[in-house]
Structure formats: C-alpha cells, structure tokens
Chain A
Amino acid sequence: MSAALLIDIILWGSVAAVGFIAFQRGRTVLTTSLREGAMDFVNIVPRIALGVIGSGYIAAIIPQEVITGWLGPNSGWLGVLTAVIAGAATPGGPVVGFSIGAVALKAGGGPPQVIAYVVAWALFAFQRVMLWEIPFMPARFVWFRAAVSVPFPFLAAAIAMAIGKP
C-alpha cells in the first residue's frame, strides 16, 4: 500500500469520525458544519488552482544551481544564512524543496547547511506562506508565526553542528 493512499485513508477516516460526532450532536450541527466546510472549499479552490498550476512556472524559471551553489561544508554560518534565505525563496511544492536539498547534499553541501535549508523552507517558504497560509488563516497570525520562526533554522543548524549528524 502506498504512503499516499494510507494518508488518504487516515484523512478521510478522521473526517468520518468527527462527522459522526457532529451527527450525534444533532442534525443541525452536522448540516451547519457541512455547509461551512463546503463554503470554505469553494472559496479556496480558485486560490489553490492558481498556486498549484502557477508554482510549476515559477519553479521552472529559477535556476537551481543558484540555490545549490553556496551551501558547501566550509561555508559556515554564512552558508547557513544563505541556506535560510534560499529556503525562504524556494518556490514550488515538496518535490522542488526536497529535490534542491538532495542535489545540494550530493553536490557537496554541508549537512548543517542543508538542514537549515530544509527547515527554513518548511517553516517559511515565501510562496507557501502567500498561497497556502494566508487563504486559510488570519493574516495577522500567519505573519506573526513566520516572524517567530526565523531563529529556528539557525538553531537546527547549530544542533546539527553540535551533534555532528547527519
């Protein structure tokens, strides 16, 4: 069984479980939440369409070697800083971010720098913040969360340097 299928099963299982709880609370609770969920869906689909279909084009015009060039093992904290900025600037979905990380690692990037890159990209990739977080959550929360997250790729790199892994 593929991981994606397993995740889908867990996901829809959770929906069914909370839906059943809502049903037990009464018919109105069920219909209200169904209507609200459907409205959210309708509002969000156009934005996601733009994000998913558009990100391929944005990723295609950013030369990957620019991102991977500056992350060597001797690049130290400057390399970590570069990695964090590169992570924030990397467009596209999970394939793009991890692929660049994998290329950087294979091309001789230092593990702490690549960790910083992956963590920064996971925490505050600019395009994801704009396309995914802002539509779903209050903008004030999103900016606050991104700002608070800034120190953590550096901390992750420091831990990686301290323990000498991976």
Chain B
Amino acid sequence: MIVIGALVAVSAALVYRRDGIDGVTEILTHDLSLFGGILPRVLAGCLLGAFIAEILPHEKVSRSLGPNSGLKGLLIGTAFGAILPGGPFTAYPVASALLAVGADFGATIAMVVSWTLIGYGRAVAWEIPIMGTDFTLWRIVISLPLPVLAGALGRFVYVRIYPKGEAE
C-alpha cells in the first residue's frame, strides 16, 4: 500500500511537471469516473464471495475441488472461471472464498487463470473492441488448454513444496 502510494505520488508529480495541472486533473477526473463506475461491481463481488463462502457445503467443495479432485476438479475450476461474471472485484473474492472452503491451490489456479484468459467479461468489454474479433478469438482458442495445465502444474509443485499439506 505504502509503496504503491509513493509510486503514485511520484508519477503524479512527473505528470504535473510534464503536462501541468491540466494533465493531472484530466487523469484524475477520468479515473474518478472509472472508480465511481466500478464501485457497485466491487460491492456485488464482495457480496457474491461472502454468500458463496457461506452457502457452499465445505465437504462437497473439498471433494470436487480439493487436492484429490484430479483432472475433474481442474476442469470444474476452469469452467467456473470461464462463466464467472464481473471483473477482478468478483473473481478474486470468489477465489478467496473457494480456498477458504476447501478448494486446493491447483483448482483455484485453474479458476483464476481461466477467468483471466477465457472469461468472456474482459474479452467482450475490452479486447474485441480494441484488438479486433479475429485476434481475440484466436487468442482465446490458443488459451483454452492453459488453465488446466496451470492448475496441474500448480498442484504438481504444491505437493512438492508442502509435502505435509501445510494448513493455511
């Protein structure tokens, strides 16, 4: 937090020196409106995470997404990440909730990676308009196997770093 705060202050000072006060206020207004726009989604994400943590049956999650869930767990994580609505403010609280109720690192990695790479939210809202449909679709096709591979690699490394299944 402090490092980022300092970084932001230095950057703002540099913008001020280069563009004057107009440059600083222009970025500020733009980012403030962006901030106002995402606040409701942040609230929705936090609520979604809290509800999911509360209503998901722990034994069931650890069975279907836990360390012994195998390829199926990774595929469920991938599918879940791909259909999860909203931005980082939704995906990360939900991922955190899954970890808390018994999903292992592998399945949660599959979910987070799937959400960033093949989730439709960012692709529809930003990537298609900016990068074009052709690039975006090929990029997604190429990315399809990656969440499962990342989750499998995560699981493979995890059991070697924490052989005793170290608690949180």
The answer, among A7, A95, A131, A155, for a CB contact under 8 Å with B4, is A131
Instruction: Evaluate contact between A98 and B126: CB separation under 8 angstroms.
Output: yes
* CB under 8 Å from chain A, chain B span 6-51: 7-8, 11-12, 14-15, 18, 23-24, 27-28, 30-32, 34-35, 38-51
Q: Are B4 and A50 in contact, with the CB atoms below 8 A? A: yes
Main DSSP-derived SS at the A contact region: helix
Q: Is the CB of B105 within 8 A of A144?
A: yes
* Chain B residues with CB under 8 A of A61: 11, 14-15, 18
Question: Is there contact, CB below 8 Å, between A54 and B4?
Answer: yes
Q: Are B96's CB and A54's CB within 8 A?
A: no
Q: How far is the CA of A56 from the CA of B34 in the complex (A)?
A: 10
One of A3, A29, A123, A128 near B88 (C-beta < 8 A)? A128
Tally of A-B residue pairs with Cβ under 8 A? 229
Per the bound structure, the CA–CA distance linking A37 and B90 in Å amounts to: 12
- Is A101 interfacial (CB 8 A cutoff)? yes
Q: Which residue of B lies closest to A37 (CB)?
A: B50
Residue A32 lies at the interface, judged by CB distance under 8 Å to chain B: yes
Q: Which residues of B contact A22 (CB under 8 A)?
A: 51, 54-55
User: Which residue in A3, A111, A148 is a CB contact (below 8 Å) of B109?
Assistant: A148
Selected from A132, A152, A165, the residue in CB contact (under 8 A) with B149 is A152
B138 touches A11 (CB 8 A): no
Interface of B is mostly: helix
By the criterion CB–CB under 8 Å, are A53 and B31 in contact?
yes
Report if A85 contacts B (CB, 8 A): no
- CA A151 – CA B150 in complex, angstroms? 9
Contact A144 B8 (CB under 8 A): no
Q: How far is the CB of B21 from chain A (nearest CB, A)?
A: 13
* Contacts A7-B85, A41-B42 supplied; 10 other A-B pairs, CB < 8 Å: A33-B54, A36-B53, A57-B14, A60-B27, A94-B122, A122-B116, A130-B3, A133-B88, A136-B96, A145-B105
- Between A and B, 7 residue pairs with Cβ closer than 8 Å are A3-B125, A18-B52, A48-B38, A60-B27, A61-B15, A115-B142, A118-B139
